[in-house]
């Protein structure tokens, strides 16, 4: 594929849009599953006695339902056709959106393969992350779709009602009753995904080279993030006072964006990616090593909210049906045994270390908030590590299997860790201007100069890429401190999107300039992206940390249930039970934080001052 056509394909824009659309589709499919699994919220037609024969007939004959000659079975549907169409339109349209999302994902993955793109999380971070995110989101949508037991009935009943209703049926000269234009393809898609993993593996076979390449680039980062508490302690992780002379030196890295990347996200990429493209496991020892490391981290990976994938069981069942995978099945069994026997204690020790390390970090930053300028990265690292550990505990405490040490999954100190997380987050929010002033000067006085020198030293620089990079230097050089003092709202989203574009341009096989041949450019640009986020996206980076609260409800340990005060406001019927449930953890955490904060305060105030 020519370079000009790769420019025209707009890979960065399509990945951004499709990932956003995929998340929306996933949430809607989740809501349909949640609604249909509860008799109280299930569509009434599926529960009515008079509809029983119609439901059974539609489910059995789907998608080849003869509406005209099956009045005996579909009589009740004929009678309630208008109401059925009105009620099921949103359900049906959500299923159509899944089909359209699938079509667009197919097209984009094939285009990326045709361009022979090179993925490396350490260089083209945004490109690699978006690619892996799309694969995981698409897989999650399909797996969740297959878990909706009533999917055939919902789609089939809507189509029957639509064909019978003059209000919705298009006027034709024929006496036949036309189906919705999407129904035939939608019905075929539902049949294809009766066994979703087998179909997904068939689809992703041609993409194995690109997917495995992207996953292998995670190896060093994933191995480092899987270190135990002893290694963290030896490295003095998160400590500001371990080396006083370097306290005001900027905390930096060659791979800034990777540093606070969620461990749970990386596990999902690795385990789902190698599940879909398992052919490389027998052919490449490095793939096998990374896959086994991923299997030793968790028993469950999250698809969305409480929907999880029991990864060892699913992978073992699949590989057990394939020839030549006996050794891989043995690997899975050994990894599962390792997780059951060791991971509880491993994560308990990490949480114990984090309580001490984050408390120290919080104390120092409280006394010297100016350090949030050069050491902002450490604060975000602390939040990222705490978030990962809390999420791991909740995910496994809810689904704990037989283990000799169940106490490892019950942490009476989790509230303190959550309190510290909130303390650091509040510090960052309170001193945002300190962070902005520091990083604005960094961008204008250091990053702009280094980037300019890097551009001049490039051996090859095509016109399109040159224009983009020159605009970066111009944007950064124009920054000044008055913008912070006057409260100007910064927006570097355009710069970051242009860098994303540049990553795609320089990652295709026929590009005149390759990013992997110019790692210094990737290094300085990834640094610039982080610094720009410190000016305009601090709240956005903090959002996933706040999301920790979503799953805390089920895992609050005594005495916290006694601290809970449920405050439910009367709402319209549109406010479903599911929506209310998603609000409860935030109320619980707020109350828990208040109690812990009060306890901490009272413990520090002298007795005679009470």
Nearest C-alpha neighbor of 469 from the set 436, 439, 503, 445: 503
| Pair of tokens at residue 547 | 């999301």
Residues 526 and 583 in one domain: no
Residues 410 and 372 in one domain: yes
Instruction: Tell me how many domains the chain contains.
Output: 4
The DSSP result for 245-314, as a single string, is: GGTTSPP--TTHHHHT--HHHHHHHHHHHHHHTTHHHHH-HHHHHHHHHHHTT-SEEEEETTEEEEHHHH
Q: Are 394 and 456 in contact (CB under 8 A)?
A: no
Report if residue 414 sits inside a domain: yes
Three-class secondary structure of residue 404 per DSSP: coil
Tell me whether residue 256 is exposed, middle or buried, using C-beta atoms within 10 angstroms of its C-beta: 0 to 12, 13 to 18, 19 or more.
Answer: buried
Nearest C-alpha neighbor of 538 from the set 419, 416, 434, 387: 434
Residues 130 and 189 in one domain: yes
Residues 293 and 381 in one domain: yes
CA distance 20 to 130: 10
Q: Are 490 and 447 in contact (CB under 8 A)?
A: no
Domain of residue 535 covers 434-545
Residues 282 and 168 in one domain: no
Q: Which of 498, 520, 545 is the last residue of a domain?
A: 545
Report if residue 400 sits inside a domain: yes
Whole-number Cα distances in Å, 324 to 199, 206, 330 = 20, 20, 12
Confidence (pLDDT) at 374: 96
Q: Which residues are within 8 A (CB) of 361 and not within 5 positions of it... i.e. 6 or more apart? A: 238, 239, 240, 378, 379, 382, 424
Report if residue 21 sits inside a domain: yes
Residues 540 and 584 in one domain: no
Whole-number Cα distances in Å, 271 to 101, 265, 291 = 22, 10, 7
Three-class secondary structure of residue 67 per DSSP: coil
Residues 454 and 388 in one domain: no
Nearest C-alpha neighbor of 420 from the set 597, 586, 541: 597
Report if residue 487 sits inside a domain: yes
Report if residue 286 sits inside a domain: yes
CA distance 12 to 127: 7
Measured in degrees and rounded to the nearest 5, phi and psi for residue 143 equal -65, -40
Residues 502 and 598 in one domain: no
Report if residue 568 sits inside a domain: yes
Whole-number Cα distances in Å, 519 to 131, 211, 512, 515 = 20, 21, 15, 6
How many residues are there in the chain? 610
Residues 388 and 446 in one domain: no
Cis omega before residue 559 (within 30°)? yes
CA distance 440 to 435: 8
Three-class secondary structure of residue 34 per DSSP: helix
Q: Are 386 and 393 in contact (CB under 8 A)?
A: no
Residues 537 and 570 in one domain: no
User: Quick count: other Cβ atoms within 10 Å of Cβ 304?
Assistant: 17
Confidence (pLDDT) at 186: 95
CA distance 315 to 286: 19
| Pair of tokens at residue 531 | 């610094």
Nearest C-alpha neighbor of 518 from the set 116, 36, 123: 123
Q: Are 504 and 117 in contact (CB under 8 A)?
A: yes
Report if residue 205 sits inside a domain: no
Three-class secondary structure of residue 573 per DSSP: coil
Q: 300: which strand partners?
A: 310
Cis omega before residue 94 (within 30°)? no
The gap between the terminal CA atoms of the chain, to the nearest Å, is 75
| Virtual torsion, Cα 489, 492, 494, 495, nearest 10 deg | 150
Residues 278 and 231 in one domain: yes
Tell me whether residue 45 is exposed, middle or buried, using C-beta atoms within 10 angstroms of its C-beta: 0 to 12, 13 to 18, 19 or more.
Answer: buried
Q: Which residues are within 8 A (CB) of 214 and not within 5 positions of it... i.e. 6 or more apart? A: 119, 120, 121, 128, 131, 132, 269, 273
CA distance 503 to 119: 10
Report if residue 203 sits inside a domain: no
Residues 178 and 263 in one domain: no
Nearest C-alpha neighbor of 266 from the set 231, 291, 237, 288: 291
Which ranges of the chain have pLDDT less than 70?
Answer: 1-6, 69-72, 165-179, 399, 401-404, 546-610
Confidence (pLDDT) at 550: 44
- Chain center to CA of 3: 31
Element (H, E) at 454: helix 448-456
Q: Are 304 and 30 in contact (CB under 8 A)?
A: yes
CA distance 301 to 573: 33
Q: What angle do CA 471, 536, 524 make, to 5 degrees?
A: 50
CA distance 148 to 193: 12
């Amino acid at each position: 594929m020519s370079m000009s056509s790769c420019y025209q394909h707009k890979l960065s824009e399509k990945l951004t849009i499709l990932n956003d659309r995929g998340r929306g589709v996933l949430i809607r499919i989740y809501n349909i599953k949640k609604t249909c699994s509860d008799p109280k919220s299930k569509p009434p037609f599926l529960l009515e006695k008079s509809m029983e024969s119609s439901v059974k007939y539609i489910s059995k004959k789907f998608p080849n339902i003869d509406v005209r000659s099956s009045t005996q079975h579909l009589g009740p549907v004929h009678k309630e056709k208008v109401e059925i169409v009105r009620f099921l339109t949103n359900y049906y349209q959500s299923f159509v959106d899944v089909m359209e999302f699938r079509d667009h994902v197919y097209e984009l993955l094939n285009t990326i393969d045709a361009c022979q793109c090179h993925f490396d999380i350490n260089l083209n971070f945004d490109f690699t992350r978006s690619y892996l995110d799309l694969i995981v989101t698409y897989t999650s949508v399909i797996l969740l779709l297959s878990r909706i037991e009533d999917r055939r009935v919902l789609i089939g009943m809507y189509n029957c009602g639509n064909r019978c209703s003059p209000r919705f049926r298009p006027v034709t000269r024929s006496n036949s009753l036309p189906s919705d234009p999407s129904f035939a393809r939608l019905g075929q898609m539902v049949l294809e995904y009766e066994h979703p993993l087998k179909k997904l593996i068939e689809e992703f076979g041609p993409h194995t080279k690109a997917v495995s390449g992207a996953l292998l680039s995670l190896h060093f980062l994933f191995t480092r993030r899987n270190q135990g508490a002893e290694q963290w302690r030896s490295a003095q992780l998160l400590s500001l006072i371990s080396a006083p002379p370097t306290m005001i030196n900027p905390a930096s890295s060659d791979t800034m964006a990777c540093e606070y990347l969620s461990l749970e996200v990386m596990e999902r990429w690795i385990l789902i990616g190698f599940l879909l493209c398992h052919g490389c496991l027998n052919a490449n020892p490095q793939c096998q090593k990374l896959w086994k490391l991923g299997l030793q981290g968790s028993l469950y990976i999250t698809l969305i909210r409480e929907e999880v994938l029991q990864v060892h069981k699913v992978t073992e069942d699949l590989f057990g049906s394939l020839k030549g995978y006996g050794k891989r099945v043995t690997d899975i069994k050994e990894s599962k045994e390792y997780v059951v026997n060791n991971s509880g204690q491993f994560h308990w020790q990490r949480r114990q270390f984090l309580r001490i390390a984050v408390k120290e970090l919080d104390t120092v930053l409280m006394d010297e908030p100016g350090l949030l300028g050069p050491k902002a990265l450490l604060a975000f690292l602390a939040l990222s590590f705490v978030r990962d550990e809390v999420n791991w505990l909740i995910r496994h405490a809810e689904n704990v299997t037989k283990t000799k040490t169940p106490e490892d999954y019950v942490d009476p100190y989790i509230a303190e860790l959550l309190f510290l997380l909130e303390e650091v987050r509040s510090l960052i929010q309170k001193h945002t201007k300190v962070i902005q002033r520091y990083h604005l000067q960094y961008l204008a006085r250091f990053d702009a100069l280094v980037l300019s020198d890097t551009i001049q030293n490039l051996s090859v620089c095509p016109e399109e890429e040159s224009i983009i990079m020159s605009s970066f230097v111009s944007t950064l050089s124009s920054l000044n401190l008055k913008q912070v003092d006057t409260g100007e709202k910064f927006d570097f989203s355009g710069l970051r999107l242009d860098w994303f574009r540049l990553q795609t341009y320089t990652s295709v096989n026929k590009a005149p300039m390759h990013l992997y041949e110019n790692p210094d450019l990737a290094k300085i640009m990834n640094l610039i992206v982080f610094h720009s986020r410190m000016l305009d996206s601090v709240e956005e980076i903090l959002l996933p940390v706040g999301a920790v609260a979503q799953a805390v409800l089920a895992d609050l340990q005594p005495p916290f249930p006694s601290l809970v005060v449920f405050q439910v406001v009367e709402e319209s019927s549109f406010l479903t039970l599911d929506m209310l449930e998603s609000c409860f953890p935030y109320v619980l955490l707020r109350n828990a934080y208040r109690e812990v904060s009060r306890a901490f305060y009272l413990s520090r105030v002298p007795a005679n001052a009470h």
